[in-house]
Amino acid sequence: MHVRNLIVFSLACSFPGIQMLAQPNPATVRLSTVMVPASSGLLNDLLSEFEKQSGYHVQVSVTNQDIYNVARTGAADLVISHYGFPGLEQFVLEGLGQWPRPLFATQTVVLGPPEDPANIRGAADTVEAFRRIAGTKSPFILNNDPNVQALFDLVWEAAGRPDRGDWYSDLGLEGSDAVDSASSVGGYTVWGIDPFLHYRATHPLNLEILLSSDPLLQRIMVSTVVTLQTSPTVNVQGATALQEYLVTPAVQARVRAYRYPGLPQQFWWPAAQHGLPPGKLEHDRRP
């Protein structure tokens, strides 16, 4: 399947794909990534041109758990994850990965019933939307995904710590369970755009994307080149070439232009400008 050779690691089965990925091949770059860049179709859109330009073949493996433990085995050359993903900091501090480079940002979205009783559609920002939900005492179901919880805590503080009355529900639900609950009670919740679209495709839901444009909802993703300290077979040169390709202006423009099929909204955002070295920043240039 060309660049789209996705090998899904089953961590419960002792990493069955690692032996195949670990075979050294200087013409292959082994990219290990969390789910969203692959399942969204963004990587498909970006990597084929890299293969044409560079002559490298990109072999992609996908996992949402212990991705840096996989990289520790020497089974990856480049890793893409959200910034702050568990294990990333320690991986770099131990010398197993180079400093992370920002690539792009995906986002969470605020979901709610089509009738939108709190009138948050088109709100100025997420904080204002939450104030309206609390003010109208519309049902709100907390999604206990750790990243969503961190966002909620910030929004709750910024909204002035509204009283968490009967309208607010924290039942320990996470991901699709929280979304199902919000759908059943005509309430609001927050979830990642990619898992929501995939889940909605097979599960009828009484929910719509009501707010998505607030930068507060964006989540930056980074790439990390794996070092030879993990394994002498790591393709550092190929990984570096792929990373440099992903942060070029042309590719960042493609990230900005990328759309999910059938949706006009922008859900992927260029982020490489946040990782430019000092000499590359406009205000650091000297005559």
Q: What is the pLDDT of residue 64?
A: 72
Sign of the torsion angle spanned by Cα atoms 96, 45, 105, 209? negative
- DSSP at 124: S
24-33, 76-85, 95-104, 213-222: which has the minimum mean pLDDT?
24-33
Sign of CA dihedral 202, 206, 208, 211: negative
Per DSSP, what are the bridge partners of residue 157? none
Q: Domains of the chain, with CATH numbers?
A: 2-105+219-284 (3.40.190.10), 106-216 (3.40.190.10)
244 in Cβ contact with 277 (< 8 Å): no
pTM, two decimal places? 0.85
Per the model's pLDDT, the better-predicted residue between 172 and 4 turns out to be 172
More confident position, 9 or 253? 253
Average pLDDT over residues 24-29: 84
pLDDT value of residue 180: 97
Give the span between the Cα atoms of 209 and 212, in whole angstroms: 7
Confidence of residue 69 (pLDDT cuts 50, 70, 90): very high
